[in-house]
Amino acid sequence: MASAVIDIVQAGPLVTVQDGGRPRLMRYGVPASGPMDRGSFAIANAALGNADGAAGIEVSVGGLALECMEGSVTIALAGGGFRVTLGGHEHPSWIVAELKAGMRLTIRPGLWGSWTYLAFAGRLDAKPWLGSASTHGPSGFGGGRLMAGQRITIADAERRPARIGELDCPVSARPRHTVKVVLGPQDRFFAPETIETLLSQPFTLTDAYDRMGVRLAGPSLRPDAVLDMPSEPIARGSIQVSGDGVPAVLLADHQTTGGYPKIATIISGHLDGFAQLRSRAQVAFSAMSPQAAVEATRTRRLSQARFLARLRGD
């Protein structure tokens, strides 16, 4: 089958190859990585009828411009509200379209959102590391960061004309300004008033925001007890508080252990919406019980699976 050859004309920082990630290696210090907004990434692949977790490109607010040099391939875009032009025409930002030789695709930040996903009806040729093409930001291992001048190849590129058209952006893909957390695992290091502050006051995402996490600005959450804990494992979504009381939310490329206490952990169903907030956006946290969080996830995963199956045309 034919290949499509694509030249990267411009790529902002944090534009990387991602697939379903590399889970189950945290015991070696390796986070799962994968897309910052897993739901939108899954929609981009499902809209093309691709396998779950097929490698695509995660585009940050730094934007991406590319030109198809040879061949043609059906592409899908999902995630955020970006400004998209294809072959000189403005397009909706959630779409399945045809990319043909000579056409330029540009993706620029639009009204909302931090991340969007470009998926291909074909196999993005990317270097795997430990079984996944996902880029691990701090090392650059995996498919890697995209750079201007780079050439990428889509093997077995297909045209899937029946899939072309605009995609619906589900409400669950919107940025989420109120985020549910489960307290802990180290909430015991904080006074009850400090927990109350976390749950009642708004926080602001700072510019210290990358794939490892985002630092928050807001009231101090200074730990109550003297910090003397051996490093403990960290999960994606942990809200870690440094000794001087500044919280940070740890995201896709997070460190796997840390010696600072984690006051609370964002439930996984709200992480996509949190990651779509931009620097300087406000966020508020509210607590739910572990059991309520489990039940919320069961409901959400079921409806998400139905949505994706319908999109794939199963």
Q: Which residues bind another protein (CB under 8 A)?
A: 23-24, 26-30, 129-131, 136, 138-139, 141, 181-182, 184-186, 188, 228-233, 235, 237-238, 255-258, 265-269, 290-291, 293-294, 296-298, 301
C-beta closer to another protein: residue 90 or 228: 228
Minimum separation from the CB atom of position 79 to another protein (A): 22
Provide the minimum distance between the beta carbon of 54 and another protein in the complex, in angstroms, as a whole number: 20
Q: Are strands 81-86 and 56-59 parallel, antiparallel or unpaired?
A: unpaired
**Which residue lies nearer to another protein by CB, 182 or 221?**
182
Give phi and psi for 98, each to the nearest 5: -100, 130
Nearer to another protein, 71 or 237 (CB): 237
Q: Which is nearer to another protein, 28 or 193 (CB)?
A: 28
Select 69 or 225, whichever has its Cβ closest to another protein: 225
Write down the least CB distance from residue 210 to another protein, Å: 14
In the chain, what is the greatest distance between 2 CA atoms, to the nearest angstrom? 63
The residue (of 238 and 276) whose beta carbon lies closer to another protein is 238
Q: How far is the CB of 140 from another protein (least distance, A)?
A: 9
Helices 38-48 and 290-312 cross at an angle (nearest 10°) of 20
What is the smallest separation between the CB atom of 284 and another protein, expressed in angstroms?
18
CB of 130 to another protein, least distance (A): 6
Torsion angles phi and psi, residue 194, rounded to 5: -70, -40
Which is nearer to another protein, 30 or 64 (by Cβ)? 30
Q: Which of 89, 291 has the CB closer to another protein?
A: 291
How near is the Cβ of 211 to another protein at its closest, in Å?
13
Question: SS3 letters for the chain?
Answer: CCCEEEEEEEECCCCEEECCCCCCCHHHCCCCCCCCCHHHHHHHHHHHCCCCCCCEEEECCCCEEEEEEECEEEEEEECCEEEEEECCEEECCCEEEEEECCCEEEEEEEEECCCEEEEECCEECCCCECCECCCECCCCECCCECCCCCEEEEECCCCCHHHCEECCCCHHHCCCCEEEEEECCCHHHCCHHHHHHHHHCCEEEEEEEECCEEEEECCCCCCCCCCCCCCEECCCCEEEECCCCCEEEECCCCCCEECCCEEEEECHHHHHHHHCCCCCCEEEEEECCHHHHHHHHHHHHHHHHHHHHHHHCC
Of the pair 113, 143, the CB lying nearest another protein is at 143
| Shortest Å distance, C-beta 291 to another protein | 6
Number of alpha carbons in the 13 Å side-chain half-sphere of residue 301: 8
Please, what is the minimum distance in Å from the beta carbon of residue 193 to another protein? 18
